[in-house]
Structure formats: C-alpha cells, structure tokens
Structure 1
C-alpha cells in the first residue's frame, strides 16, 4: 500500500529533531569556517556529536547543508553592496564594501568559498550569488565613473581581493587576526586613480573567465 508522506514532510520537526538539526548546522558552520566546504558529513556528525545517519536525514546532500548555512551570508554581502551604493562618496562606498566583505570572508573560509566558488551550493546559494554580481558591478562602475577608480579596474577584480585577505589569514591569522587589513589597504591604494599609474601587465578576467574560474576553483586543502 502506498503511503503519502507529503503531510509528514510539512509537519514541524519534533523538539529533539530540531535540536539535532541546530547542532548539525552549528557544527557545519564551525568546520566550514575553519576548513572550507570540503568537510564531510562524517566530520560534521562527529563535530556535532550525532550519528552520520542523522546528518544525512536532515541534509541528504552537501548542497543542502551549504544552502542552510551560507545563503544568509551571501545576502549579507549583497546588502553591503547596496549600502555602499547609497554613500554619497563613491570611493568611500567602494572602500566600505571591500573592507566589510573581507571582514566577513577573511576568517570564514567556508563563506569565502561559497561566494567565490560554484563547486558546492544549491539553488538558494546560487540565486544569492546571482543577486550579488550586479551589485558589485554597480559599486565598481560608480567609483570608476566618478574618477576615483583606475579606468582599468573592473568588477571581476574585486573577488580576488577577498582571496588575498583569505590567504593572509590562512598564513598568519592565528598570530595576527587583523593582518589582512594591511594588505587590503595596499591593494586599495593600487586601485585608486592616479595621474600616471603603472600600466597593468595583463587584463582582468572576462565575465566568462570569471565564471569558469568559479566553477573550477577547489581551494580546500588537506590540513
């Protein structure tokens, strides 16, 4: 006899099931922040203190687990872009956006990968990323049109600043958690419009190349 499970799927989780789900989400967030999105269901289960079967019942795929954690993070970065566009000084808006974005992603490797890579993440994370891209383009275009930003800087350059901040944190974050600020400031100075800027030896990534890089980037490493 066929059983209709659709009604059961809509019922709220029992209290113990809801607690297990919250433990799983918190454990995954901690692991992903420290080690990136390559952490496995087994590792999440061990960190959460639950059986791996419990993790799979709540989140059958890695994409669903990433969605549960990082959709809000990408939405937050998109909101930072909107806030940057509202600032009357477009250079200060750009600096604000880059600084706040790097502050979120520098010490959270999982969020950095969710923003910059399409290796993991389902429909909700992908939809959040698609909202982010045009906001970043507007922040860059506004600063460039106002003459604050070098004419040869484009929107595909900004994600690389986040990667720089993350690399500095991976190297020395345990010793100097805020060291990334030093190098992001150096990058921003290099991006600012100058009377006689040094010509850049190569061009930026095209939108197609940026997309290809996001789809092929596998930043997680064995610890």
Structure 2
C-alpha cells in the first residue's frame, strides 16, 4: 500500500506557559546584554540576567547565532523600513541623508546592532533575506543620490561600512558618558561624513559635543 503523499508531519506542540515565559525573559535579557556588552557577551551572563539556568537558555536557543538573529531581526526589519521610507522621499539626497542618520542613531542606541548587521549568519535564512533587502535598498538610495549630483560619484557602500564602524567606536569610547553627549558626538561624526561625501553646497554641521582630549 502506497503512503498518502498528502500526509503532513504533525506540527510541533506549542510551548508550555512556563517555557514561553522563559523564552521571553531570555530574549529581553539578551537584548539588554548585547546592547551593553556587544555580541561577544557570555551566554552565562544572559542566563543570569534572565534568571534562568544556562541549560534552559540552550534548550530554547541551541547556538549563539540562533539567539543573536532572533534578538536582532526586529531591528533589521526596522532598518529596512527606514530605507523604504527614504526611497519614497521625492528628494533622493534628503532620503539618503535621513536613512544614514536614522540607522546610525539606531546603532548608538544598541551596541549589538552593529555586530549583527555586519556579521554573516549563513544558517539564518530569514535574517539573511532581510539583510539582503536592506543592502539592496541602500544600494538604490546611493544610485539615486548620485544621479542628482549631490553624492560623490566615487562613493560606495564600503564608505557606509566605514561610517558604521567609526560610529561603533564612538559608542564604545564614550560608554558611561551621558546619553546626550554620546548622541551629540555620533551626530557630529555622521554629519561630518555626510559633508565629506556631498558635493557643494554643503549642509551645515551640528554643534560640537562637549568633548576634550581627556575623553580619549
């Protein structure tokens, strides 16, 4: 007798209430720890913050990659939304500038976001698909801004990567400083880079943050 080809494997049973609660706590704790300490933070530190055992954490998320991609998928989707809104702006340079500024603000708010955005996760198909959407959208923003003559023709996505790396350094070096100081320093860096990429006339820079050499 031939097996019925329409037969489907039974769906995985839903998580019990306590398991769902643990999963939610782990994700919340991971967001906090990754934001504070970056993606290399020990898994044990996340388990402690969540109030669960390390074994419980690994039952829910067998690998660091699985936890990272689950935590940062929403931020990556948010990044795609930012790019989509920028593409809808009738002024391509303004859309490009706004997207860069917004993504860098997201980055400063969460240290882990940089690592997740720049790291490849071949096993996380959905995460990589969303990242691909973001990269394609950024590429289109660049092409449109260059077509207006306001963005240097030699500009490439590598320059965006360099900005993200530099902005990450600002966040790391100023860890512990007031949020307003970190935001102002990041904003000044981003505006300086945008001015370097822009053809005349240049947009004005925002006020310099209150930093001196002793902050280095």
Q: State the TM-score, normalized to the length of structure 2.
A: 0.81
Supply the distance in 1 between the matched residues of 2:175 and 2:167 (Cα, whole angstroms): 10
Asked if 1:184 corresponds to 2:190, the answer is yes
What is the CA-CA distance between 1:124 and the residue it aligns to? 2.4
Asked if 1:124 corresponds to 2:126, the answer is yes
Unaligned residue ranges in structure 2 (runs of 5+): 1-8, 202-216
Match of 2:3 in 1: none
Supply the distance in 1 between the matched residues of 2:188 and 2:56 (Cα, whole angstroms): 43
What is the CA-CA distance between 1:121 and the residue it aligns to? 7.1
User: Is the 1:115–1:129 contact (alpha carbons within 8 Å) kept by the matching residues of 2?
Assistant: yes
Where relative contact order (Cα < 8 A, 6+ residues apart) is larger, the structure is: 1
What is the CA-CA distance between 1:152 and the residue it aligns to? 1.1
Supply the distance in 1 between the matched residues of 2:147 and 2:59 (Cα, whole angstroms): 51
Match of 2:208 in 1: none
Supply the distance in 2 between the matched residues of 1:60 and 1:119 (Cα, whole angstroms): 15
> Over aligned residue pairs, what C-alpha RMSD do you find?
1.8
Q: State the TM-score, normalized to the length of structure 1.
A: 0.79
Q: 2:148 aligns with which of 146, 149, 168?
A: 146
After the TM superposition, which of the residue ranges 51-60 and 175-184 deviates more from structure 2?
Answer: 175-184
Larger radius of gyration: 2
Unaligned residue ranges in structure 1 (runs of 5+): 1-5, 196-223
SS of corresponding position for 1:106? helix
Report the count of equivalent residues: 189
Supply the distance in 1 between the matched residues of 2:22 and 2:96 (Cα, whole angstroms): 41
Supply the distance in 2 between the matched residues of 1:150 and 1:97 (Cα, whole angstroms): 17
Deviations 1:162-206 (A, max 9, x none): 2222211111243222120011111111110149xxxxxxxxxxx
Deviations 1:45-84 (A, max 9, x none): 1111111110011001111111211112111111111111
User: Is the 2:69–2:116 contact (alpha carbons within 8 Å) kept by the matching residues of 1?
Assistant: no
